[in-house]
Amino acid sequence: MTEFKSQFIDTFYESCFAPIIKNAKIVHEEHKTTNTMQKSIFSILYRDDDKVIHTGTGFLIAQNGLFITAGHVFRQRINPDGTLDPNRFLAYFADTNTLIKINLIWFKSLVPCQQKNPEYIDIAVGILETDNTSYLILDRRRPGIGQNLKLCGYISKKKINNYGTDFEHLIDLEKITFSLIDMGIKYQDALISDADRDYRLGREKADKNRLFNNCITLSGKFRIGTSGCPAVDNNGMVKGILIGSPKITDETHILLSKWCSKQVQFHPYVKYNPYEYLNNL
């Protein structure tokens, strides 16, 4: 009788409480992952001659302030003489309402017509003036077709992208908001072109030089201002960074983490462990 009672209690516990505890753990892990993302991802502010704008999204990948983003975020802001002034940029963490100086910026990026397959080149590496403890980990493994990824970046909710005249007179920063959207993987490469004709022809007839294998294609579009944001899996591991969406298709392209990791790994001015993701397997 005692044995039967014990088995009944165990069965009752497993059927009633175990699912609740399991779901609670899942919710806790999701909250933990989201919290880490918000502490690691930031808006990139750019000071033009007469205004400050939100120009892209970056995210930390190590404890020494090391971050990456899409290269065109900075390429589009170079001076007429071809130089880039780091003092014209600030990192804004909405989670803590904190502005942080960018000490170093290095980028490698070409306009689409200059790109040559098989690899698309569009990455920036930098260092923030911070002793951060939160950061995201690049997972070098290629995600599979059908896998869902979360794109996590900052968008501007203002009709006019203007947040003050300079960094000493910033306004309305609360309108730069964190956004997250789920997207499925559509193709294991990316058709990227500055000619609409290539997209209208379709992947089978388009110029094969426009196909890049260090990128993948997601179904759906993300918002302006999210360039450089991470695409993470359900475990919060970064599978790639967003580099753009063609205007005439409902698709989004991301650079794979393995390629991005290599660019950071061999950069002469930074310390970075490209295989940290193995600790989470």
d(CA 69, CA 169): 26
Residue 122's pLDDT is what?
Answer: 97
Residue 222's pLDDT is what?
Answer: 81
Neighbouring residues of 248: CB distance < 8 A, sequence distance ≥ 6: 196, 199, 200
Structure confidence at residue 176 as a pLDDT band (50, 70, 90): very high
pLDDT tens digits, one per residue of 84-95: 999 999 999 999
Cα–Cα distance list, 80 to 75, 107, 220, 278 (Å): 12, 17, 35, 43
pLDDT tens digits, one per residue of 60-69: 999 999 999 9
Mean pLDDT estimate for the chain: 87
In the chain, domain spans? 2-37, 38-280
pLDDT tens digits, one per residue of 99-121: 999 999 999 999 988 999 999 99
38-280 CATH, one of 3.40.50.300, 3.40.50.970, 2.40.10.120, 3.40.50.720: 2.40.10.120
Which carries the bigger pLDDT value, residue 268 or residue 181?
Answer: 181
Cα–Cα distance list, 59 to 90, 189, 223, 242 (Å): 13, 23, 17, 12
Structure confidence at residue 96 as a pLDDT band (50, 70, 90): very high
d(CA 42, CA 177): 10
Which 3 state secondary structure label does DSSP give 219?
strand
Cα–Cα distance list, 225 to 8, 70, 105, 114, 133 (Å): 57, 11, 19, 23, 25
Which residue, among 33, 93, 102, 50, has the nearest Cα to 73 in the 3D structure?
102
d(CA 75, CA 111): 9
Identify the sign of the CA torsion 223, 229, 232, 235: negative
Taking a C-beta distance cutoff of 8 angstroms, is the pair 262, 103 a contact?
no
**Percent of all residues in the chain with a pLDDT value above 90, rounded to a whole number:** 64
Q: Which residues pair with 219 in a beta bridge?
A: 251
Residue 3's pLDDT is what?
Answer: 54
Amino acid letter, residue 9: I
Which 3 state secondary structure label does DSSP give 155?
strand
